[in-house]
Amino acid sequence: MLPINNGKERIHQPNNNKMLSKQEIKAIESWVFKMWKYRFYKTPRQMASVASKTLKFKYKMIGNGLNRVVYDLNNGYILKIALSELGLISNANEASIYNNCKEEVRKYLCPIKEHGTGWIIMKKVDTKVSNPIKEYTKLIKLDLKFLRYGIIPIDLRLDNVGFTENNEMVVIDYGLFTMNLINPVLRWLVL
């Protein structure tokens, strides 16, 4: 079951993690509860700003996309927090894919440290692309590897990859990937 909240009830999740405090988890829960009322009239940038004001984290916000905001935890990890229903699905989907895929492709996915309702913590990797033409070749090969192992890499592009210390390409945003055709991401995209 996906951690989707329609804004009518509070989400409660145990604090089983080691990287976020109880107060930070409560701030995320509060944001997830409140974000529903902004979904129809805020741009992603405005949503990120409202989320930042609600969360009041000491961490630096290092970016945001359409559905999630990203904080640098200053310990080699980043924290992604949902800005929308698709952001909630993407976080849950990344955790599911990372924990259930074959080892042969897991090494091409950015490692996940912890996750909960509305948030996910991943290893921070370098996202600078040194040689775009060479990297596109790697990207095509990576696309084929995922397909070979039963993962449909929806939205695989250079903006969604990073590089390890050994200059190996890893996907840092695989929230729209799917391992099956009944995946909630596909249902959300089709509706």
When pLDDT is cut at 50, 70 and 90, the band that residue 2 belongs to is very low
Q: How large is the average pLDDT for residues 28-50?
A: 86
Can you point out the beta strands (E) in 7-123? Answer: 60-64, 68-72, 77-82, 112-116, 119-123
Tokens of 152: 């449909």
170 forms beta bridges with 162
Distance CA 173, CA 109 (A): 9
Q: Pick the residue with more confidence: 183 or 172?
A: 172
pLDDT of 14 strictly over 70: no
DSSP 160: G
| pLDDT single digits (tens) 133-170 | 888 999 999 999 999 999 999 999 999 999 988 888 99
Beta bridge partners of residue 119, listed in sequence order: 81, 116
* pLDDT in the model for residue 166: 85
With 0-12 / 13-18 / 19 or more C-beta atoms within 10 angstroms meaning exposed / middle / buried, residue 68 is: buried
Q: How confident is the model at residue 11 (pLDDT cuts 50, 70, 90)?
A: very low
Give the integer Cα–Cα distance in Å for 153 and 89: 15
Query: Are the folds of 22-123 and 132-190 the same?
Result: no
Cβ atoms within 10 A of the Cβ of 140, count?
A: 11
Average pLDDT over residues 43-65: 91
How confident is the model at residue 96, as a pLDDT? 93
Rounded CA-CA distance 76/178 in Å is: 27
| Mean residue pLDDT across the chain | 85
Average pLDDT over residues 22-37: 92
Q: Where are the domains of the chain?
A: 22-123, 132-190
What is the pTM (predicted TM-score) of this model?
Answer: 0.84
Is it the case that residue 45 has pLDDT exceeding 90?
Answer: no
CATH of range 22-123; options 3.30.200.20, 3.40.50.300, 3.10.450.50, 3.20.20.70: 3.30.200.20
Alpha carbons within 13 angstroms on the beta-carbon side of residue 83 total 25
In terms of Cα–Cα distance, which of 100, 127, 99, 125 is closest to 112?
A: 99
For domain 132-190, which architecture applies?
A: Orthogonal Bundle (1.10)
